[in-house]
């Protein structure tokens, strides 16, 4: 790692002393068991942090609840100004943070930088939003009355994020929640604790410089048990959780049981439909990046290709031959396209999927396998694989977080392809490759894709922050990031004001005393 400047990056991010596991920071009060963070890149120990105990959690949530009471009174544009300064720091630290993301999570350095860019973009978005956060006014049915709605800060927001986007998903939530006037408690993944601490340090510094009350950006560390403290806690009105459908169902039940709100961004099983009118060159780029980028560990990764029979062989051959160009190795080395999986459990899931697809009757088109030898010592590097499969195979119905692409054939028209595409439990991202207007519009119509994201002539992954991000069915229904996703971080109030000397009742009801 040293040749790629990891030590310097840790230093730039203020992580020199986190490496012995003794450090706590502002609004991060963890005193529990040690969590060790090993890099999937080279298997080296990067650092240690302490997990949050229940006493630490109590301290965190009471600090956040207290801080919220003051923060909510700050004018939103002033909160936006703090986010602007936080963003300046992100711009300044883009390279070390992108590098740490790459080293701790395993995605390519380019993608690490791209992830930090998403943070920068959402902060810009949030700063503009801080002068908006608008409700509607409507005409009252009563004379001399005014009616309008306004959005007030919600309270303490709990954020649970996953290892695969260890920094961006936090920022999608916090940047919006902060300008909305909320306090945030973040539980990042226990697989990427150092990137969480790096982000916490950046926010803590900027917040302290601006005299932001204590508790507006809190960090808790540990496994699902720490997350559970938040999901059960009535002082946390909103839980925003990103991760598996299994996790989401548990969180949804727990939070609904206390009538809290959830924002869930769960699994995907994303497909690209390739029609006879597709541009083959762009299809190959979109599909290959979608399937192997981030080593197949994005929620939006391409899992299935649904190809029309007339062009099936042509597209299949083009994709198979593109796979031969893929360079797998240290993700900090910009010559490589694909880095490691996050850990050995992920490698096992990958191996299981390849075995299972064959057992169910699939055919391997591009052989997988775990890489060994020099440069692959961590045991987490695998070869992206392709299998010809049927949509109703159990393994195809299941989201495997690894670079395994299933390809299948459709005949007939685009509605036959849509049957397959929509024929899974998940509903996050989808795409069609076509230059045929009728097919494209059909795909986007009410009878078209049932996903939260539907793209034409673009792959399934790599959404911009300006749109609402999320999906339907087993994906959980939440929307984060752009558009009006901010509304979930606020509470809506309808206000009616009578400025007359009378008190007329609505619906024309007479009530004379």
Can you state the percent helix, strand and coil of the chain, rounding each to 5? 40, 20, 40
The residue length of the chain stands at 513
With respect to ligand UN1, which residue has the nearer C-beta, 41 or 299?
Answer: 299
Cα dihedral 35, 24, 160, 105 sign: negative
| Strand pairing category for 156-160 and 183-187 | parallel
Q: Is residue 299 annotated as part of the catalytic site, yes or no?
A: yes
- Binding to ligand UN1 by residue 455, rule CB under 6 A? no
Least Cβ distance, residue 165 to ligand UN1 (angstroms)? 5
236's tokens: 């946390």
List 265, 399, 439, 480, catalytic entry? 265
Q: What is the spatial distance between Cα 364 and Cα 313, in angstroms, rounded to a whole number?
A: 15
* Residue from 462, 470, 471, 482 in contact with ligand UN1 (CB under 6 A): 462
- Binding to ligand UN1 by residue 165, rule CB under 6 A? yes
Least Cβ distance, residue 69 to ligand UN1 (angstroms)? 32
- Binding to ligand UN1 by residue 191, rule CB under 6 A? no
Please give the residues from 214 up to 243 whose contact with ligand UN1 meets the rule CB under 6 A.
242
Please give the residues from 293 up to 332 whose contact with ligand UN1 meets the rule CB under 6 A.
298-300
| Distance from the first to the final alpha carbon of the chain | 83
Number of residues located near ligand UN1, criterion CB under 6 A: 11
* Lookup result for tokens 């939530």: 173
Give, as one character, the DSSP assignment of residue 295.
G
- Binding to ligand UN1 by residue 125, rule CB under 6 A? no
* Residue from 405, 463, 488, 490 in contact with ligand UN1 (CB under 6 A): 463
Q: Is residue 36 annotated as part of the catalytic site, yes or no?
A: no
With respect to ligand UN1, which residue has the nearer C-beta, 170 or 178?
Answer: 170
- Contact segment (CB under 6 A) with ligand UN1 among 1-9, 395-403, 431-439, 461-469 equals 461-469
- Give the chain's count of helices (H) and strands (E): 15, 21
145's tokens: 């009355």
Least Cβ distance, residue 431 to ligand UN1 (angstroms)? 12
With respect to ligand UN1, which residue has the nearer C-beta, 119 or 382?
Answer: 119
Contact 40/339 with Cβ under 8 angstroms?
yes
* Lookup result for tokens 């539907």: 454
| Strand pairing category for 363-366 and 385-388 | antiparallel
455's tokens: 């793209």
- Binding to ligand UN1 by residue 426, rule CB under 6 A? no
Return the closest-CA partner of residue 364 out of 354, 372, 353. 354
With respect to ligand UN1, which residue has the nearer C-beta, 133 or 454?
Answer: 454
Distance of CA 309 to the CA centre of its chain: 34
* Lookup result for tokens 């690490």: 112
Which residues lie closer than 8 Å to 513 by C-beta, 6 or more apart? Answer: none
Contact 149/121 with Cβ under 8 angstroms?
no
Least Cβ distance, residue 464 to ligand UN1 (angstroms)? 7
- Binding to ligand UN1 by residue 164, rule CB under 6 A? yes
* Residue from 52, 217, 231, 461 in contact with ligand UN1 (CB under 6 A): 461
Contact 337/108 with Cβ under 8 angstroms?
yes
- Contact segment (CB under 6 A) with ligand UN1 among 54-62, 101-109, 150-158, 292-300 equals 292-300
- Contact segment (CB under 6 A) with ligand UN1 among 75-83, 161-169, 304-312, 368-376 equals 161-169
Which residues lie closer than 8 Å to 246 by C-beta, 6 or more apart? Answer: none
Least Cβ distance, residue 454 to ligand UN1 (angstroms)? 13
Least Cβ distance, residue 40 to ligand UN1 (angstroms)? 17
With respect to ligand UN1, which residue has the nearer C-beta, 114 or 135?
Answer: 114
* Lookup result for tokens 């399937």: 291
Least Cβ distance, residue 462 to ligand UN1 (angstroms)? 5
Least Cβ distance, residue 172 to ligand UN1 (angstroms)? 9
Encoded one letter per residue, x for contact with ligand UN1 by CB under 6 A and - for no contact, window 474-513 reads: ----------------------------------------
List 199, 218, 299, 380, catalytic entry? 299
DSSP 3-state of 273:
strand
Contact 24/200 with Cβ under 8 angstroms?
no
**What does the binding site for ligand UN1 look like in residue numbers (CB under 6 A)?**
118, 164-165, 169, 242, 298-300, 461-463
Catalytic residue annotation = 265, 299
């Amino acid at each position: 790692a040293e040749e790629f400047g990891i030590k310097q990056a840790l230093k730039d991010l203020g992580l020199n002393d986190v490496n012995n596991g003794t450090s706590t920071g502002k609004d991060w009060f963890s005193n529990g068991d040690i969590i060790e963070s090993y890099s999937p890149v080279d298997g080296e120990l990067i650092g240690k942090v302490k997990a949050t105990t229940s006493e630490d959690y109590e301290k965190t949530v009471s600090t956040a609840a207290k801080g919220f009471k003051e923060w909510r009174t700050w004018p939103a544009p002033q909160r936006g100004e703090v986010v602007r300064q936080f963003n300046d720091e992100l711009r300044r630290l883009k390279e070390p943070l992108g590098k740490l993301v790459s080293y701790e999570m395993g995605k390519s350095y380019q993608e690490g930088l791209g992830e930090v860019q998403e943070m920068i973009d959402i902060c810009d978005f949030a700063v503009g939003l801080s002068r908006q956060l608008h409700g509607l006014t409507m005409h009252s049915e009563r004379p001399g009355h005014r009616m309008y709605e306004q959005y007030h800060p919600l309270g303490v927001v709990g954020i649970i994020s996953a290892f695969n986007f260890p920094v961006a998903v936090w920022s999608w939530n916090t940047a919006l929640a902060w300008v909305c006037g909320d306090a945030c408690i973040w539980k990042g993944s226990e697989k990427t604790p150092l990137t969480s601490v790096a982000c916490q340090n950046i926010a803590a510094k900027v917040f302290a410089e601006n005299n932001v009350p204590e508790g507006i950006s809190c960090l808790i560390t540990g496994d699902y048990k720490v997350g559970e403290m938040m999901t059960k806690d009535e002082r946390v009105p909103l839980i925003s959780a990103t991760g598996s459908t299994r996790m989401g169902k548990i969180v949804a039940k727990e939070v609904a049981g206390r009538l809290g709100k959830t924002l869930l961004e769960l699994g995907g099983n994303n497909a690209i439909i390739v029609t006879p009118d597709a541009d083959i060159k762009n299809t190959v780029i979109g599909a290959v990046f979608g399937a192997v980028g981030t080593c197949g560990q994005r929620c939006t990764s391409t899992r299935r290709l649904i190809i029309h029979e007339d062009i099936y062989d042509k597209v299949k051959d083009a994709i198979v031959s593109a796979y031969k160009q893929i360079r797998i190795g240290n993700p900090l080395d910009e010559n490589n396209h694909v880095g490691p999986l996050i850990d050995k459990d992920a490698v096992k899931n990958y191996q299981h999927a390849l075995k299972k697809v064959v057992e169910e009757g699939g055919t391997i088109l591009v052989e997988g396998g775990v890489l060994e030898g020099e440069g692959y010592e961590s045991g987490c590097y695998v070869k992206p694989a392709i299998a010809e499969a049927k949509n109703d195979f159990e393994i195809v119905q299941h989201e495997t977080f690894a670079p395994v692409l299933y390809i299948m054939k459709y005949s007939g028209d685009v509605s036959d392809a849509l049957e397959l595409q929509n024929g899974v439990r998940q509903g996050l991202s989808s795409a069609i490759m076509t230059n045929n207007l009728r097919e494209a519009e059909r795909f986007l119509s009410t009878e078209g894709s049932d996903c939260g994201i539907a793209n034409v002539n673009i792959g399934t992954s790599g959404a911009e922050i300006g749109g609402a991000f999320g999906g339907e069915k087993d994906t959980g229904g939440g929307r984060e990031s752009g558009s009006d996703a901010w509304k979930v971080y606020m509470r809506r109030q309808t206000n009616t004001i009578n400025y007359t000397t009378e008190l007329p009742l609505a619906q024309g009801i007479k009530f004379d005393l």
